């Protein structure tokens, strides 16, 4: 459970695979950020991608000019808070710069298939704020990535928990972080609508209907 629910973690806990911070932002902050990014997204059409595409039925944009796109102070403060959290908890060991935020608008019938993010530009973490719809992110071991990084952590994790894939439940307003082995040695994908998340005994299994989803993704630049 400590992999998926940071509320239970001590403040100095640094997960080595992945973590989900539930209720990272308020409804008001989420709505504010959605309306700011939708100003850019509205001008675009959903793209279908090719038959073997990682992502299908989506729109995307990068916030190169974040200051002019993110107009409300509420959204600005939220983005700053995400970066602060990531820097303090996940990147405090190094100097780095941020890549522009990447925004993905996934149609309710869209797909995000298994992939490991390219290591050409992006650094040690991939983190995303999930807005509007819940979803399940599945992490599956992938040794075909460009780098053999974090393999020891992955093997340790698998030996400890006895499974070779991990599902993360991403409710709206949560922030997920893929780090170390989770970033380099597992592929990530969103499961189709109607998939079941097997959570802890208290909550029981949750059937997750995925609807229109917007995510704002944060990446540190490669060293
Ligand atoms: C990526 O940017 O590599 C993703 O897979 C994004 C996932 C998401 O929309 O949260």
Ligand 1 centroid to Cα of residue 128, in Å, is 7
Helices (H) and strands (E) in the chain, counts: 5, 11
- Give the residue, out of 127, 128, 175, 183, with the most ligand 1 atoms within 8 A of its beta carbon, to mutate for a pocket test: 128
The rounded distance, in Å, linking the Cα atoms of 121 and 160 is 32
The rounded distance, in Å, linking the Cα atoms of 192 and 113 is 10
Residue 49 is predicted with a pLDDT of 78
Residue 55 is predicted with a pLDDT of 94
Q: What are phi and psi of 194, to 5 degrees?
A: 95, -5
- Pick out the chain residues at pLDDT < 70: 1-16, 51, 143-163, 200-201
Q: 167-195, pLDDT tens digit by residue? A: 999 999 999 999 988 898 889 999 999 99
Ligand 1 — pocket residues by CB below 6 A? Answer: 102, 104, 112, 117, 126, 128, 188, 215, 217
Other beta carbons within 10 angstroms of residue 50's beta carbon come to 7
- Tokens at 11, concatenated: 């403040």
Residue 147 is predicted with a pLDDT of 45
Percentages of the chain per state (helix, strand, coil), in multiples of 5: 25, 35, 45
Q: Is 27 helix (H, G, I), strand (E, B) or coil?
A: helix
Q: How far apart are the first and last CA of the chain?
A: 32
Ligand 1 centroid to Cα of residue 205, in Å, is 24
The two beta strands, 206-208 and 195-197, are antiparallel
The rounded distance, in Å, linking the Cα atoms of 108 and 15 is 31
Q: Give the Å distances, CA to CA, from 127 to 44, 91, 178, 185, 207.
A: 24, 12, 6, 15, 24
């Amino acid at each position: 459970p400590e992999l998926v629910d940071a509320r239970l973690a001590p403040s100095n806990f640094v997960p080595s695979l992945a973590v989900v911070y539930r209720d990272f932002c308020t409804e008001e902050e989420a709505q504010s950020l959605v309306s700011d990014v939708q100003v850019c997204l509205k001008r675009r059409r959903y793209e279908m991608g090719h038959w073997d595409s990682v992502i299908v039925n989506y729109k995307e944009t990068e916030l190169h000019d974040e200051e002019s796109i993110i107009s409300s102070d509420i959204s600005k403060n939220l983005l700053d808070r995400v970066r602060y959290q990531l820097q303090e908890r996940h990147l405090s060991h190094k100097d780095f710069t941020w890549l522009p935020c990447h925004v993905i608008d996934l149609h309710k019938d869209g797909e995000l298939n298994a992939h490991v993010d390219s290591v050409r530009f992006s650094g040690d973490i991939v983190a995303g704020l999930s807005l509007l719809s819940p979803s399940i992110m599945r992490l599956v071991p992938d040794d075909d990535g460009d780098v053999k990084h974090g393999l020891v952590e992955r093997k340790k994790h698998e030996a400890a928990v006895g499974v070779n894939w991990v599902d993360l439940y991403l409710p709206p307003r949560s922030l997920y972080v893929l780090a170390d082995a989770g970033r380099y040695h597992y592929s990530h994908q969103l499961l189709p609508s109607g998939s079941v998340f097997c959570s802890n005994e208290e909550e029981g299994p949750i059937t997750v209907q995925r609807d229109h989803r917007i995510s704002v993704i944060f990446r540190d630049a490669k060293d």
